[in-house]
């Protein structure tokens, strides 16, 4: 279920390391939440320079939006974001202050994976809450 999408300006370090980043996000998500690695999805979107903004001003730092199942504790969500940032910056050399990570929780009932509607994390015996 987890879906991580990276939006990166052309030429950004994230794009040069897509396989390593995808592997690291899979490892982090699986270890922190208990989700099977097979369910972790990553995509990378390249945008022209001048396409990302913060406070109305253009920025060059990459962004990541992650969709995860609803129901995990604040502690687990904080650990997930922190470890994602650590892995991402270690691989790319990007500074943490230059990246942005957004995690959105989605009810399991709003997701189909392998033809099955997912339970909420709180109802999944394998999930780390």
Q: What pLDDT sits at residue 117?
A: 93
The CATH number assigned to the domain with range 3-122 reads 3.30.429.10
Domain ranges of the chain: 3-122
The Cα-based distances of 77 to 3, 53, 61, 71 in angstroms read 15, 25, 22, 10
Q: What pLDDT sits at residue 102?
A: 98
Q: What pLDDT sits at residue 122?
A: 83
Give the residues of the chain that fall short of pLDDT 50: none
Q: What pLDDT sits at residue 126?
A: 81
């Amino acid at each position: 279920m987890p879906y991580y999408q990276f939006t990166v300006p052309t030429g950004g370090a994230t794009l040069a390391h897509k396989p390593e980043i995808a592997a690291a996000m899979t490892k982090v998500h699986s270890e922190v939440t208990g989700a099977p690695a097979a369910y972790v999805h990553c995509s990378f979107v390249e945008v022209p320079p001048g396409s990302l903004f913060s406070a109305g001003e253009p920025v060059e730092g990459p962004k990541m939006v992650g969709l995860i199942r609803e129901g995990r504790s604040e502690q687990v969500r904080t650990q997930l974001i922190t470890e994602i940032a650590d892995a991402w910056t270690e691989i790319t050399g990007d500074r943490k202050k230059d990246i942005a990570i957004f995690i959105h929780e989605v009810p399991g009932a709003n997701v189909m994976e392998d033809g099955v509607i997912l339970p909420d994390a709180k109802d999944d015996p394998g999930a780390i809450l």
